[in-house]
């Protein structure tokens, strides 16, 4: 293996900070699946984080200075892996080392076009860090150390929460909401979203009220302790079932939820419809319902493969949910809001209540189409059953 040629290629991408990700694969050690390298900022200085993915599904993190990175990368290719791909915005570079020691480098990176991922990563702090109480909050959520610096092992969760708030911030305008917001976070869990979003909008001089609801009393108490220590006002957490929870406000501006499991997502969406929430942001999780009732005569070529059947059920379930929201007067998008490396649960239902009037007749017409589709799939889904309760109310609209 020509170490000089390898060092030349690796030095170019590391020193220029032009790579988005480097993936080491085809491991020599049977305990490892792959290793990934990414740039990140610590105190405004660029570093590289290695994430070693083990065969027991654990991950080990290792941080490198740029000065030490090339030598470490060469060591990985000398001792631990046979393959490596360097991914950039201007092409990839594939590195292969054969058992004979032969080195083959296929470099398709354009030197004319480079990016600075470290600068891009810095912008991710805009929605979460740098606001009053940020350090206390990030420490309370176990996202940062005592100095407020992001913990590299928690970057995936940070990116997920930050992107969610970025999407929400893009949907909220001061003109439409008159600098006032009522936010409900259902199945809030550890409340990354509600706490961080609340603090963000406070920093933007909004009069914001937030409430999170979860079934686990210990989690609720932890959330209360975090906001108390950070001295956040107008935010509270309730131990309760979202099936019976009622909003304390006459109007809900934002209903959101991150990874409410299975039909709990349907309850979140139903409550949002019931409250006529102006904005709905919901990232679904664990689409079990349709998978259990799916009629395999529908698209049998796909249904015969369990993995593909599960993915089909996920897509079909979220399509039904989106169409029901549309029937009730929402403009709906389904987007991927984070990289798959940050979370494989990366779809986000994004809905805004439009100003067009809807009536019982138009809703019933759209729901009939949904029913026909559900019949093909294997029966009505939970959200479709729940919204039946709302139909009598539409007669008065």
Q: What is the pLDDT of residue 155?
A: 81
Residue 121 has what pLDDT? 42
Backbone angle region of 94, left / alpha / beta, with phi > 0 → left and psi within -120 to 50 → alpha: beta
Give the contacts of 87 (CB within 8 A, at least 6 positions apart). 19, 20, 21, 22, 23
What does the pLDDT read at residue 339? 60
Is 355 found in the same domain as 238?
A: yes
Q: Which domain, by its residues, includes 306?
A: 128-394
Burial of residue 104, with CB atoms counted within 10 A of its CB: 0-12 exposed, 13-18 middle, 19 or more buried: exposed
Same domain for 155 and 243, yes or no, is yes
Residues 190 and 309 in one domain: yes
pLDDT, tens only, 154-194: 888 888 888 888 889 888 876 678 889 999 999 999 999 99
Indicate yes or no: pTM above 0.75.
no
Q: What's the mean pLDDT in 291-300? A: 87
pLDDT tens-place string over residues 27-41? 998 888 899 998 887
The reply to whether 12 and 138 lie within a common domain is: no
What pLDDT is recorded for position 35?
92
Query: Is residue 239 domain-shared with residue 372, that is, in the same domain?
Result: yes
Residue in 52, 41, 56 with CA at minimum distance from that of residue 75:
52
Q: Are residues 145 and 67 in the same domain?
A: no
Average pLDDT over the chain reads: 86
Judged against a pLDDT cut of 90, whether residue 383 lies above it is answered with yes
Of the residues 75, 101, 120, which one is the last residue of a structural domain? 120
In this prediction, residue 51 has a pLDDT band, given cuts at 50, 70 and 90, of confident
State whether 15 and 151 are in the same domain. Answer: no
**Residues 261 and 164 both lie in one domain:** yes
Q: What is the CATH number of the domain that holds 194?
A: 3.40.50.150
At residue 183, the pLDDT reads 97
Residue identified by tokens 């001089």 is 205
Q: What is the average per-residue pLDDT within 324-347?
A: 78
Residues 104 and 157 in one domain: no
pLDDT at residue 123 in the model: 40
Domain count, the chain: 2
Whether 114 shows a pLDDT value over 60: the answer reads: no
Identify the pLDDT of residue 336: 82
User: What is the CA angle 212-214-218, rounded to 5?
Assistant: 110
Domain end, chosen from 81, 97, 120, is at 120
Do 137 and 114 share a structural domain?
no
Please indicate, yes or no, whether residues 34 and 183 belong to a single structural domain of this protein: no
Same domain, 115 and 167: no
Where does a domain end: 87, 102, 120?
Answer: 120
> CB within 8 A of 88, min separation 6: which ones?
13, 18, 19, 20, 109, 114, 115
């Amino acid at each position: 293996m020509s170490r000089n040629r390898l060092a030349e290629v690796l030095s170019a991408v590391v020193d220029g900070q032009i790579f988005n990700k480097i993936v080491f694969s085809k491991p020599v050690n049977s305990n490892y699946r792959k290793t990934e390298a990414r740039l990140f900022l610590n105190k405004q200085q660029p570093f590289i984080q290695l994430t070693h993915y083990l065969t027991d599904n654990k991950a080990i993190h290792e941080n490198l200075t740029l000065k030490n990175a090339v030598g470490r990368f060469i060591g990985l290719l000398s001792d631990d892996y046979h393959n490596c791909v360097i991914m950039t915005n201007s092409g990839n570079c594939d590195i292969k080392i054969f058992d004979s020691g032969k080195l083959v480098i296929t470099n398709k990176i354009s030197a004319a076009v480079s990016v600075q991922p470290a600068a891009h990563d810095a912008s991710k702090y805009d929605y979460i860090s740098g606001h009053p109480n940020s350090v206390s909050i990030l420490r309370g959520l176990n996202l940062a150390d005592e100095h407020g610096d992001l913990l590299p092992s928690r970057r995936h969760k940070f990116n997920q929460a930050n992107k969610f708030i970025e999407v929400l911030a893009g949907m909220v305008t001061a003109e439409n909401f008159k600098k006032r917001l009522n936010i409900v976070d259902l199945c809030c869990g550890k409340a990354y979203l509600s706490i961080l979003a609340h603090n963000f909008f406070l920093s933007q001089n909004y009069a914001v009220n937030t409430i999170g609801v979860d079934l686990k009393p210990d989690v609720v108490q932890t959330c209360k302790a975090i906001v108390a220590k950070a001295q956040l006002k107008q935010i509270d957490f309730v131990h309760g079932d979202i099936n019976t929870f009622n909003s304390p406000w006459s109007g809900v501006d934002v209903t959101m939820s991150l990874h409410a499991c299975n039909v709990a997502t349907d309850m979140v969406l139903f409550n949002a419809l019931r409250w006529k929430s102006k904005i709905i942001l919901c990232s679904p999780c664990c689409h079990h319902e349709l998978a259990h009732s799916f009629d395999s005569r529908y698209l049998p070529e796909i249904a015969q493969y369990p993995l593909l059947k599960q993915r089909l059920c996920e897509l079909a379930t979220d399509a039904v949910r989106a169409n029901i929201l549309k029937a009730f007067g929402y403009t709906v998008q389904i987007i991927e809001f984070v990289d798959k490396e940050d979370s494989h649960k990366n779809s986000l239902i994004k809905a805004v209540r439009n100003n067009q009037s809807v009536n019982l007749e138009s809703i019933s017409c759209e729901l009939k189409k949904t029913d026909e589709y559900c019949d093909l799939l294997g029966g009505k889904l939970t959200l479709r059953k729940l919204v039946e309760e709302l139909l009598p109310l539409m007669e008065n609209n």
